[in-house]
Chains A and B, each alone.
Chain A
């Protein structure tokens, strides 16, 4: 074959060729668990990031009930308003949490509710505007478990 050094060099090269994807690439593929859901929701239309704010506590002391408020920047006129807002969970067994249908008479495009979060996750809100465009915003929530079990 050649010198031991050369054999070593070739085996290292071979190892690199069969190595898994570099961490960077793998992480990017995992980066957006929402992508397939959002594609289904918008029929493939582009979703712009912005105009949508998701307001939740950074740390939720119980995943059963976490206050959440979503608001959208929009003039809310007959010609330019928010048609609907959809809430998606990055971790719940059912990712589609809710869809709120508004109209030009909504006044302020904001909805507050309380959500269930099955563990720490990102929540994504997708707003559909009257011109057919989509905008999104998200928030990360840390959800802690109860210190003591309760089967009362």
Chain B
């Protein structure tokens, strides 16, 4: 899965930062049919979690009501330099992950 994450590369301690992630995924609803009339099975990214230096700071349970190629933006407080780890899984069991480093001064 192609995915992009965005965090400020540097932040001040205690600063509220915006974290963004975009993932290429059809978020197939299960309500569509292909050109031969066969139902396309539901397959959405159902869970996404974000850990910052090991602690979970955000988790999203998603459904077919979230648009294809899901985009999420949320906030967290910059505490210490380290790493953000983004992990997600879809209904078919396919997993994805991205990491981003941050320097906190």
Q: Do chains A and B directly touch (beta carbons under 8 Å) in the complex?
A: yes
Chain A residues proximal to chain B, CB less than 8 Å: 64-66, 69, 87, 89, 92-103, 105-116, 151
Kindly count the residue-residue contacts between A and B in the assembled complex, taking CB atoms under 8 Å apart. 93
Chain B residues proximal to chain A, CB less than 8 Å: 16-17, 27, 29, 31, 35, 52, 55-68, 70-77, 79
Which residue on B lies nearest to A71, using beta carbons? B75
Is chain B's binding surface mostly helix, strand, loop or mixed? strand
Q: Which residues of A contact B56 (CB under 8 A)?
A: 103
Cα A108 to Cα B73 in complex, Å, equals 11
**9 more CB-based (< 8 A) A-B contacts, given A105-B76, A108-B75:** A100-B74, A103-B56, A103-B57, A105-B57, A106-B77, A111-B73, A116-B65, A116-B66, A151-B35
Nearest-Cβ distance from residue B94 to partner chain A, whole angstroms = 19
Asked if A110 and B75 sit within 8 Å, CB to CB, the answer is yes
Which residue on A lies nearest to B52, using beta carbons? A105
- Within the complex, which residue of A100, A101, A115, A116 is in contact with B29, where a contact is CB–CB below 8 Å? A116
